[in-house]
Structure 1
């Protein structure tokens, strides 16, 4: 799984080594409606279905039933000022099927908090009030900059 080469023996006794995989997986919110036991990942282009399955089972201890992959072509567009054509990188997506009894719900990273909203509204009202006070203070001197006050 790793293409990095490490020396087997180094002088001075046994060495501590950490073997890191060259692959990566990123959890992606699905664009289309998926069954609750299907999870979508963006992954390294070099990964195969078996690499993805082994990665999830060995590192995260996730039971995987099936893995399907697809490659999404990057967007081709013309740069407005220069006029040459640019193509974005392709992306490989993996659709991982979990057992039937397991359900994956994408985590809510920004939950609605009513107390925080009230604090934001109070701060906004305070900022509006301070701006109106500042404008009223400089109303009689229209040609003077705002930072030049007594």
Structure 2
């Protein structure tokens, strides 16, 4: 794949946001990260053909739709679904306004769309039942249901009350897979210089054959990690020719893989994220105690500095030998020679400065003795 096509199908790096950003309670925490991970082709299309001020291209992650005084409106299909739900349901225990109902409707829709596919129940009726459970409403019985035997209805109410809303993640459909033969690697998010790290986004490197549903079910089953959104892009490895002229895919770091950018409900920080610990310490009034305690814990348990020093010594030992004779190469002999040379130059400058200052002091003392002192 050419660089132009690869860039067109790639995504922008996650834009940073504070881990405790002020967003509405009805929207998922990683909603600001949705707009920052939009593919470049979609971003370019929205730039060339901008929507109107009242339109919302991404309604589930648009925080403006969760306020009462907003000018934006639901898209046509979402508004149609909302009105269809209101026409067949009632909210006896809810005293909220239409704006609050719309906000909870968006929250339930986002949770329903981020569910794991393959779970029962499915369909529009099951989705409406789940939304009513989130919004605190109930269905209005139809005419056919109201003309049924009232005695049977009263018996049903006495046994268990109304129908319970079924969690979409409670019943699984299909065959479970134990010990999957796949490799998933957690990578650090790509952050531009000058931007902060986004804790509500995680980047994984997965096999090309793995789908979004597979990754979502894997994270939930193995790590109990709930996912809000997933964006994937494929990276095709470079192609070269062998000695015999056969076209083949290059191995190593240029292999083909798929990158998955995952939105998280809770912020995730690496153990060595000292900036976040320092910010939390300043907020709690303890300064850098949290960062120092974490650094001490890392050194005691993992010996990071010792490992780095051992790695440097191993690299010096590797470069040491008869193969490299250049003075500019970083081997042990040249490095020590350069250190001693700079140390000697620094000591010579210090000694010269000391002699100059002593000579200046002697001249001042001699000049003071020759001048008459005031009585």
TM-score by length of 1: 0.51
In 2, the alpha carbon distance for the partners of 1:20 and 1:95 equals: 23
User: 1:90 pairs with 231, 256, 263, which one?
Assistant: 256
* Residue pair 1:68, 1:96 contacting (<8 A) in 2 also: yes
CA distance 1:92–1:113, change in 2 (3 Å): same
Report deviation, 1:106.
Answer: 7.1
Q: C-alpha offsets along residues 31-81 of structure 1, whole Å, 9 cap, x if unaligned?
A: x216222111111222211111110011111121111111100111233x4
Does the CA contact (< 8 Å) of 1:26 and 1:41 recur in 2? yes
Indicate how the Cα distance of structure 1 residues 57 and 21 shifts in structure 2: closer, same or farther if over 3 A, else same: same
Distance 1:103 1:36 in 2: 5
Partner of 1:105: 270
Asked if the contact 1:36–1:105 (Cα under 8 Å) also holds between the matched residues in 2, the reply is: no
Query: Unpaired segments of 5 or more residues in structure 1?
Result: 1-17, 125-150
Give the Cα–Cα distance (whole angstroms) in 1 for the partners of residues 257 and 303 of structure 2: 26
Larger radius of gyration: 2
Say if 2:180 is the partner of 1:21: yes
1-side partners of 2:205 and 2:270: how far apart? 17
Which protein is richer in helix relative to its size?
2
Please show how residues 1-150 of structure 1 align to structure 2 within 5 Å.
Answer: 19-30=178-189, 32-33=190-191, 35-79=198-242, 81-88=243-250, 89-99=255-265, 101-105=266-270, 111-113=304-306
Secondary structure of the 1:47 match is coil
Question: What is the root-mean-square deviation in Å for CA atoms of aligned residues?
Answer: 3.4
- In the superposition, the TM-score normalised over structure 2's length comes to 0.23
Distance, in Å, in 2 between the alignment partners of 1:110 and 1:63 is: 33
The 1:68/1:86 distance shift into structure 2, 3 A limit, reads: same
Distance 1:110 1:27 in 2: 22
The alpha-carbon distance between structure 1 residues 39 and 84, as it changes in their structure 2 partners (threshold 3 A), is same
Q: 1:73 to 1:106 in 2, by over 3 A?
A: farther
The answer to which structure has the higher strand fraction is 1
- Equivalent-residue separation in structure 2 for 1:106 and 1:95 (angstroms): 20
Greater relative CO, 1 or 2 (CA 8 Å, sep 6+): 1
Secondary structure at the counterpart of residue 227 of structure 2: coil
Quote the Cα distance in structure 1 between the aligned partners of 2:303 and 2:240.
Answer: 33
SS of the residue 1:71 aligns to: strand
